[in-house]
């Protein structure tokens, strides 16, 4: 059981307020990672979102290595998925982008990166158009072909993708999958169909300002994901449903703290201890058996 984040974070206060047109990359990275370490998030990123496909592989690997040196937690590298990146009308389509991304993943694995997340936020067309579904599958087969030595995860956000069918995703050799369960609640159907040896990251925290941050809902999501196909909590993570970049910095951190809290509660083994950590209204307690009343004694006969 672990906690992580999906998508980008806002720029920390003060980082961009130095007269520069853009935040200093390393300064912002250091500030974000220090905050995430302090919160206790267990699998972190720099908060910058997904790396573009046109960034050279060596540059991505060097950036990951700098981030890893600044954090006490494992750092994952997020890469823009080939299907979403190939839909912007540029000269490269999903298949060509996938071939390029393979080189980046190999470079990251050689640099020691333990976890690479492929971010597909714009894949809703595959749920309704057969041709788009084939393009998606072809691109991801090219991307994952022959990759070893690194945990590959596929993040699917933005809406319901269950109509694309479980095979579209689970016939691909990804070790884990992250699903947006706020914009796409029907993605629970995919989670229920996922093989038990695949990890599931439940993006169950609402990313909107004012959106639901109930710990009890997150704990339930973790437990349900763990129950599917005998998966177990060891193959489950909790996260926000999608990018937090539009939020104020303090609100984004508050939401991540809530994820960390819920992850710790979901991992408690004792049902009694877990119940004590949750709102009593969210806990189903067995009804207490009533003691049987003693039978009434027959009345004594009156003396004649």
Pinpoint the alpha helices (H) of 145-214. 166-170, 188-193
Residue 297 or residue 225, greater confidence: 225
pLDDT of residue 226: 97
Quickly state the pLDDT bin for 92 (edges 50, 70, 90). confident
Is residue 190's pLDDT more than 90?
Answer: yes
Report d(CA 16, CA 56) in Å as an integer.
25
Domains of the chain in sequence order: 2-282 (3.20.20.210)
Kind plus residue range of the DSSP H or E element containing 148: none
Report d(CA 52, CA 251) in Å as an integer.
27
Q: How far is CA 272 from CA 265, 268, 276, in A?
A: 12, 9, 6
Quickly state the pLDDT bin for 277 (edges 50, 70, 90). confident
pTM equals 0.88
Q: How remote is the C-alpha of 270 from its chain's centroid?
A: 25
- Number of residues written out for the chain: 304
pLDDT tens column, 226-247: 999 999 999 999 999 999 999 9
Quickly state the pLDDT bin for 15 (edges 50, 70, 90). confident
Residue 28 or residue 99, greater confidence: 99
Report d(CA 175, CA 290) in Å as an integer.
50
| Half-sphere exposure for 34 (CA within 13 Å, toward CB) | 7
* Cβ proximity of 102 and 70 under 8 Å: no
Report d(CA 9, CA 22) in Å as an integer.
15
Q: Write the CB contacts of 116 (distance below 8 Å, at least 6 apart in sequence).
A: 76, 77, 78, 79, 105, 108, 109, 150, 151, 152, 153
pLDDT of residue 19: 46
């Amino acid at each position: 059981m672990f906690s992580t984040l999906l998508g980008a974070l806002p720029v920390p206060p003060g980082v961009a307020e130095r007269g520069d047109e853009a935040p200093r990359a390393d300064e912002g990275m250091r500030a974000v990672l220090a905050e995430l370490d302090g919160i206790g998030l267990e699998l972190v990123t720099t908060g910058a979102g997904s790396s573009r496909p046109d960034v050279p592989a060596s540059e991505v690997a060097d950036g990951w290595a700098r981030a890893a040196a600044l954090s006490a937690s494992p750092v994952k590298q997020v890469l823009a998925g080939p299907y979403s990146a190939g839909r912007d009308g540029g000269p490269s389509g999903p298949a060509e982008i996938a071939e390029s991304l393979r080189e980046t993943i190999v470079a990251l694995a050689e640099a020691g990166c333990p976890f690479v997340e492929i971010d597909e936020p714009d894949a809703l067309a595959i749920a309704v158009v057969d041709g788009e579904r084939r393009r998606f599958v072809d691109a991801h087969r090219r991307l994952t072909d022959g990759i070893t030595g690194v945990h590959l995860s596929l993040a699917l956000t933005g809406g319901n993708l269950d109509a694309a069918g479980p095979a579209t995703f689970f016939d691909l050799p990804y070790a884990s999958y992250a699903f947006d369960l706020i914009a796409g609640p029907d993605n629970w159907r995919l989670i229920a169909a996922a093989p038990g040896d695949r990890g599931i990251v439940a993006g169950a925290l609402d990313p909107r300002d004012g959106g639901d941050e109930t710990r009890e809902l997150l704990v339930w999501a973790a437990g349900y994901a763990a129950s599917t196909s005998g998966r177990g909590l060891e193959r489950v993570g909790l996260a926000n449903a999608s990018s937090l970049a539009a939020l104020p910095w303090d609100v984004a951190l508050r939401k991540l703290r809530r994820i960390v809290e819920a992850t710790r509660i979901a991992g408690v083994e004792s049902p009694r201890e877990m119940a004590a950590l949750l709102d009593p209204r969210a806990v189903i307690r067995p009804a207490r058996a009533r003691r049987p009343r003693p039978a009434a004694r027959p009345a004594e006969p009156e003396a004649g």
